[in-house]
Each structure stands twice: as structure tokens, then as C-alpha cells.
Structure 1
Amino acid sequence: MTQHPPTAPLDRPVVGSYPTYEGAQRAVDFLSDSKFPVERTAIIGSDLRMVETVLGRLTRGRAALAGAGSGAWFGLLIGLLLSLFAAGNHHVLVLMISGLFYGAIFGALFGFAGHAFTGGRRDFASRSQIVAARYDVVAETEVAEEAKSLLIKLGWREG
């Protein structure tokens, strides 16, 4: 098999355009199932926007609770790692429970203090993501027509 030097994704012809990333991903998966050399394709998102979804009000209590949750997981991990060096089996459980407890306590304190130090400038919890207006599947010039005809022939339409 001959290796072709890859071209920059932006220089490649568009073989399909989709309103969602999942649509573009399904098209590439379909090409892969059809034994198409998908290593010669790319998915390019255009007209990017940052969308921040507000999940709710963030109080000091909620910040402390979130801190306690993440601190508990971290404490459990530390307890588990320390238990590798414990002398007896009964020490394993004690170390893990202690790690969980102390992790939750310190996590709650740090969560509370961290939120208190913001001075009310960010009293909400949110999730951010980058979304595109459309997703183009592109392919190297030498195989672009084959990809396009596969997608059209078997029902994968643009849009």
C-alpha cells in the first residue's frame, strides 16, 4: 500500500455536510464500514460558537457540597493507594474510609472558601461547550469522489 503525504484538512474537498457532529461522525463510520480509507478524511466544524449552559444558582452550601464530593473521591483514591502499603487487610478498609472522610471534609472547606473568595462575582454553575453551525466531512483529493459517491449511493445525503 502506498503512503500518501497528508494534505491539510482545510485544503481537502467537502464530501458531505451535516448540521450535527453526530451526523458527520455517522458518515465517517459508514465510510469505514464500507472499507473506505478513513485515515484520509477529517471532520471540520465551521462557524464555531461557545455555548455556556447555566445549570443553576451556586450558593456557598452548594459549593461546599460539590467540594465535599470531589474531595471524597480524591480521599478515597489516596486511601486506596496508601492501603497498598498497609500491613493487614483490616487496615485497608480503615485507610479507605479515613481517606473518604478527610477528603470530603477538606473538599467542603476548600469549596466553601473558594466560592466565598469570589465575592459573589460568579453565583451560578454552568457547563461550556464549543458547537459549530455545520460539520463538513472532507477527504484527500485523490479519494474525495469515491467518498462522495459512496455516501450518495447508499443514502447519506448532505444537510
Structure 2
Amino acid sequence: MSMMGGTPQEHGETIAEYSSYEGAQKTVSRLIAGEIPAKDIAIVGRGLRSVETVTGRLGYAAAARSGAINGILLGLLFSAIFVLGTPNAAIQLFVGVMLVGIAIGMLMSIITYSVLRRRRDYTSITQLIADHYDVTVLPRSLARAREIAGVAAAPAAPATPIIDSRVPPQYGERIDPAPDPTPEARAAADPDAPTPETPSGS
């Protein structure tokens, strides 16, 4: 059972991505079976969009049928209340109460349709669909979750190789010319070299 929270919560780091919600559910089941705390796991939908699927045309006949179905339930409720109050009531009375409930349901549905038909004359189902679903885990359970899900940790950035200037270059290898050292750098490299004179201001 899913519940809507009023405050945003930390989702953690993504360990798997799926194009379907069912795939994300299977991974969550595996994580919970592997003793990962359920409160550390989340399914995050990305690229949400609303899809309204038209299921049929709505007219007075369709409204009456829908009202009749609802009226049956209403009639059963009225009949049950009536039978509890009068246990010795005849079956004809029970059927009559049922018919009254059906009539009330049909009438209410037709009235509702007549009010709303100018804005909408079809029936539909609205769904909220995501492009893909991420399974996220909080940092405290991340290592164990990666192990259960069979996901390797993110690779570290490759180290920059250090080039030794004393090694001669290979044939065809391009060598960028070194910049000219400053007078201070020359003095630091060769202590016996004369110190350049600084021109004095006039």
C-alpha cells in the first residue's frame, strides 16, 4: 500500500533504472528480501506525464446504464436496512425497494450527465505515467544494496599519467615546447647565475 507524504524525503542514490514500473518493483522486492530496510528504498518516476485514455462515448443510454449499476448497490443497501427493521417483510417489498434504488441511481446519473454533457460527452481513464523509474537507496544501505542488486560501484576517475621529462620521446610523439623560464626561475635553478638588475625609477 502506498501513502502520499506531505513533506519531501531524501531519496538517496540511484542503483538501477527501469523502463517499466514492474521491473523496479522486482528489484525492491529483492532488496527487502536481502534485509535492506524498506524505509531506505524508494522508486522515483522520471519524466512524468498524464495520459487520458478514452473508453467510450457518453450519452443518455450510457448514463442510464451506469446509474442502474449504482442503483442496484443503493437498492441492496436500502433493502438490507428495511429487512433488518422488519424481518417479516414480504419478498415483494424487498424487490420493490431494490427497484426504487435502481430508479434513483438512474435518475441521478441522467441529471448529472445533462448538466455536464456540454463540456464532456465521453468517458475516459486518466493515468500518470513515467518515462523511466529509478530505484534509489539511502547511503547507509547503499553498499549492501549494490551487492544484492548486482550493481558495481561507480568507477573512479582515471588518474592523469605523469610524464618524466628525462625519458626520450617515442618516434612520432609530439612534444609541446616548454615555456621560457622567468628570471626568478633561472636564479632558483642555477644559484651561481648573476642576478638580473632591476631598473630603478627616475
* TM band (smaller chain): 0.7 to 0.9
Does residue 8 (structure 1) correspond to residue 9 (structure 2)? The answer is yes
Aligned identity (percent) is 31
Taking structure 1 as the reference length, the TM-score comes to: 0.78
Look up the match of 2:76: 76
Gaps of 5+ in 1: 1-6, 154-159
Moved >6 Å (runs of 4+): none
Aligned CA distance change for structure 1 residues 115 and 32 (closer, same or farther; 3 Å): same
Q: Which of structures 1 and 2 has the bigger CA Rg?
A: 2
Look up the match of 1:147: 145
Gaps of 5+ in 2: 1-7, 152-202
**SS of equivalent to 1:121:** coil
Query: Quick check: 70-79 or 129-138, which moved more?
Result: 70-79
Q: Which has the higher helix share?
A: 1
> RCO greater where, 1 or 2, for CA within 8 Å and sep 6 or more?
1
Look up the match of 1:127: 125
Look up the match of 1:33: 33
Amino acid in structure 2 at the alignment position of 1:8: Q
Q: In structure 1, how many angstroms separate the alpha carbons of the residues matched to 2:26 and 2:17? A: 12
Amino acid in structure 2 at the alignment position of 1:43: I
1:19-98 equivalences under 5 Å are 19-88=19-88, 91=89, 97-98=95-96
Query: Quick check: 113-122 or 53-62, which moved more?
Result: 113-122
Look up the match of 2:106: 108
Amino acid in structure 2 at the alignment position of 1:102: V
Say what the alpha-carbon RMSD is for the aligned residues: 2.2
* Alignment check: 8 A CA contact 1:63 1:108 kept: yes
**SS of equivalent to 2:127:** strand
